[in-house]
Amino acid sequence: MGNAEQCDAWAAADAYELYMGRWSRRLAVAFIERLSAAADLAWVDVGCGTGALSAAILDLSNPASLLAIDPSVAFVEHARTVIHDRRASFAVGAAHGLPAGDGTIDVVASSLAYNFFPDRSSALTEFLRVLKPGGLFAFTVWDYPTGGPAFIDAFWQAAAALDPEAAALDEAVRFQFCSEPSLVEELAGAGLAGVRVEALAIPTSFSDFDDLWVPFTLGAGPAPGYVAGLDPGRVDALRQRLSSDIAERGGVASLRATAWMGRGVRAR
Ligand SMILES: C[S@@+](CC[C@H](N)C(=O)[O-])C[C@H]1O[C@@H](n2cnc3c(N)ncnc32)[C@H](O)[C@@H]1O
């Protein structure tokens, strides 16, 4: 595990909900509405976190079954606690080892998690194993390279202005492959057919600067994981720098987050 991955803190479920869950739930709804899948399918939600995408699948897609899986014990426990649905089951585990038989799944879905898989190639091989012929892999990732989630982009730019070591942790640097051509190439290269990648955007408006800032101090996610390692003086300097940078971007009410939604099918 490199330095960057050490900041990827996926343990505090309530903190995650405040930092990202409130936006990932919104993105999940847009994702599932755009996907417009048929009813009565067998789904897996890989990297389910606290359950944002699973909830959208259950609410909007009328699945026959849904397996929600994530390596974070605390996140899976949170998802299990908030989702009460007889079609849903939950497991602790990673993308490269799904507890599903060969050719048994109609849709492998994943939201905002694909870029965190340490070995995406093994994950795609695993998805092709569990998918039925004609089955679908569909996912979202933030469009990090162009500053997709503006509040996160502003955070890393402020952090790098104060700490040269933060530049390598910037998600726009770590996840440069989150662009349309790279994602298409990656999925097609893994053997998926009919690959399409399209843009999806949601508003992320905060009530005031603290509504944006406080979740960065709660320790869940890459940027909060970075803040957790700073001493109080550096945290305060970062807060001030980010506050002035956000004001220059037009303030907390005007921020947006853009994502890529990708899909490809297992050829028959
Ligand atoms: C940004 S969160 C997204 C969670 C949720 N899908 C959502 O939309 O809120 C990224 C998730 O990826 C999970 N993750 C990290 N590595 C993983 C892996 N190898 N396999 C599956 N999930 C992984 C993390 O535990 C975390 O829950």
> For residue range 134-144, what is the model confidence (pLDDT) as tens digits?
999 999 999 99
| pLDDT of 250 over the 90 cut | yes
- pLDDT tens for residues 220-231? 899 999 999 999
Q: How many CB atoms lie within 10 A of CB 234?
A: 14
- Which residue do the tokens 């790279």 mark? 182
| pLDDT of 5 over the 90 cut | no
User: Which of 17, 43, 112, 140 is the pocket-test mutation for ligand 1 (most atoms within 8 Å of CB)?
Assistant: 112
Q: Whose C-alpha lies nearest to ligand 1, atom 22?
A: 47
| pLDDT of 1 over the 50 cut | no
| Ligand 1 centre distance from Cα of residue 233 (Å) | 31
- Position 268 scores a pLDDT of 76
For the Cβ of 20 lying below 6 angstroms from any atom of ligand 1, the answer is yes
| Ligand 1 centre distance from Cα of residue 70 (Å) | 6
What whole-number distance in Å separates Cα of residue 198 and Cα of residue 31?
Answer: 10
User: CA torsion, points 105, 106, 111, 117, in degrees to nearest 10?
Assistant: 40
Q: How many CB atoms lie within 10 A of CB 89?
A: 14
| pLDDT of 264 over the 50 cut | yes
- pLDDT tens for residues 160-197? 999 999 999 999 999 999 999 999 999 999 999 999 99
For the Cβ of 126 lying below 6 angstroms from any atom of ligand 1, the answer is no
Q: Whose C-alpha lies nearest to ligand 1, atom 23?
A: 47
| pLDDT of 265 over the 60 cut | yes
- Which residue do the tokens 């009565």 mark? 40
Which one is predicted more confidently, 173 or 254?
Answer: 173
> What pTM value is reported for the model?
0.95
